[in-house]
Amino acid sequence: MKVQVCIIGGGPSGLLLSQLLHLQGINTIVLERHTRDHVLGRIRAGVLEHGFATLMREAQCGERMDREGEIHHGFLIAHDGGRLDRVDLRKHSGGNSVMVYGQTELTRDLYEGRERSGAKTVFEAEDVAPRDLTSDRPYVTYRQKDEPFRIDCEFVVGADGFHGVSRRSIPKSELREYERVYPFGWLGVLSRTQPVSPELIYVSHERGFALCSLRSKVLSRYYIQVPLAYRVDDWSDEAFWEELVRRLPEDVAARLITGPSIEKSIAPLRSFVAEPMRHGRLFLAGDAAHIVPPTGAKGLNTAGSDIYYLYHAILAHYRRGDDAGLEDYSRRALARVWKAQRFSWWMTTMLHRFPANSPYEDRLQATELAYLFSSETALGSLAANYVGLPF
């Protein structure tokens, strides 16, 4: 089989790019290792920047998001022994906001959009291997139910997440990797309960970070910082709610409605960047090239900016024979990636409990929050990054 662009990975990055290119008459295929149900079973991001929402509309997949997603003009930070301060995103970012709409729903919308437009996805593609990437005739091989397949193409896009094969197929000598692993994870619970607050609450507490988020008026998403040694099975629902309550300001805790978890998982926190994001005719996008700790809600949104640059670069190649965008893709994408890294590191460092910190470092951390809420400039910087830096 021959296509123009072979995309490895059927997560949000791969699906969004494929859908955008497909609508422009550029022939793509998406190879996904798992089943559709497996991909849709993962509960991940919840907060979208406007740039990402705009791409969803451009991909003709934004209708349900615009109907069911919630626009949020601010969020809260609990700190200093239970004090609750609001970050007014609209005021401090010059009128901007974010959209609360789950990655699961958005991925479903992208799959449905692809089905409507007849775009091709191969599920349960095993042993996917990109080959001859530095020639002008790259190809990708895979197996499905023990039958071997080969896709000849002009470009390969590696959108297969952090554990995918694409980044690993770049020779080590060509790739520089930067990494920071945090000594804790987030234990997340999804529950069919009314959210404790209509706006997100990020909590800095001496027992550890917590986050009250939501997916809708009847679906809540909560997280607590946990040591890496704990397994998800160590946490009953009761133990989770008890620990969450301990970290919330009293009046918030009093309003919390608990219930059985629909999903419960632990995500380790990691910062990671691989440079460059291109090797010959292979282009990396999203988590395949970079990871952030989730505190700033930047992972999916940074994948979105990669897709924006790559989409326009591929379009310019096919429309005008102009390869400047492809040549410049890695540099442009990484410039924005590193700003998201900085912001995510800053939010994570400011809000989590670091067991190895000295009392001096703990005081500095508390002062960071005190300074934030005393300075319009600091709030402006937080708001600009949270709503999303320009593409």
Residue from the set 13, 19, 104, 213 that interacts with ligand DHB by CB under 6 A = 213
Annotated active-site residue 298? The verdict is: yes
Please report, as a single letter, which amino acid is at residue 171.
P
Report the nearest approach of ligand DHB to the CB of residue 157 (Å). 25
> Please, which residue, 326 or 350, has the CB nearer to ligand DHB?
350
- Per CB under 6 A, which of residues 93..152 are in contact with ligand DHB? none
Residue 196 in contact with ligand DHB, rule: CB under 6 A: no
Report the nearest approach of ligand DHB to the CB of residue 210 (Å). 12
Residue 292 in contact with ligand DHB, rule: CB under 6 A: no
Classify residue 277 as exposed, middle or buried by CB count within 10 Å of its CB (0-12, 13-18, 19+): buried
Which residues are CB-contacts of 386 (< 8 A; sequence separation ≥ 6)? 75, 87, 89, 93, 98, 296, 297, 343
Please report, as a single letter, which amino acid is at residue 303.
A
Chosen from ligand FAD, ligand DHB, none, partner binding at 160 (C-beta under 5 to 8 Å by type): ligand FAD
Residue 325 in contact with ligand DHB, rule: CB under 6 A: no
DSSP H or E run through 67: helix 63-68
Chosen from ligand FAD, ligand DHB, none, partner binding at 12 (C-beta under 5 to 8 Å by type): ligand FAD
Chosen from ligand DHB, ligand FAD, none, partner binding at 287 (C-beta under 5 to 8 Å by type): ligand FAD
> Please, which residue, 125 or 214, has the CB nearer to ligand DHB?
214
Residue 294 in contact with ligand DHB, rule: CB under 6 A: yes
Interacting span for ligand DHB (CB under 6 A) from 105-113, 116-124, 228-236, 294-302: 294-302
Which residues are CB-contacts of 310 (< 8 A; sequence separation ≥ 6)? 17, 157, 283, 285, 329, 333
CB contact at 8 A, 371 and 378: yes
CB contact at 8 A, 161 and 286: yes
Distance, C-alpha 221 to centroid of its chain: 16
Residue from the set 20, 47, 55, 383 that interacts with ligand DHB by CB under 6 A = 47
Annotated active-site residue 318? The verdict is: no
Instruction: Provide the token pair at 287.
Output: 């988590």
Chosen from ligand FAD, ligand DHB, none, partner binding at 32 (C-beta under 5 to 8 Å by type): ligand FAD
Annotated active-site residue 202? The verdict is: yes
Q: Can you give the binding site for ligand FAD, defined by CB under 6 A?
A: 8-14, 31-34, 39, 44-47, 103, 125, 128, 159-161, 163-165, 186, 188, 267, 286-287, 294, 297-301, 303
Q: What angle do CA 99, 343, 220 make, to 5 degrees?
A: 40
- Per CB under 6 A, which of residues 357..376 are in contact with ligand DHB? none
CB contact at 8 A, 165 and 128: yes
**Residue 239 to residues 178, 233, 260: CA-CA distances in angstroms?**
36, 11, 12
Q: What angle do CA 285, 138, 275 make, to 5 degrees?
A: 35
Catalytic choice (101, 202, 223, 309): 202
Residues that bind ligand DHB (CB under 6 A): 45-47, 200, 213, 221, 294-295, 297
Residues marked as catalytic: 72, 202, 294, 298, 386
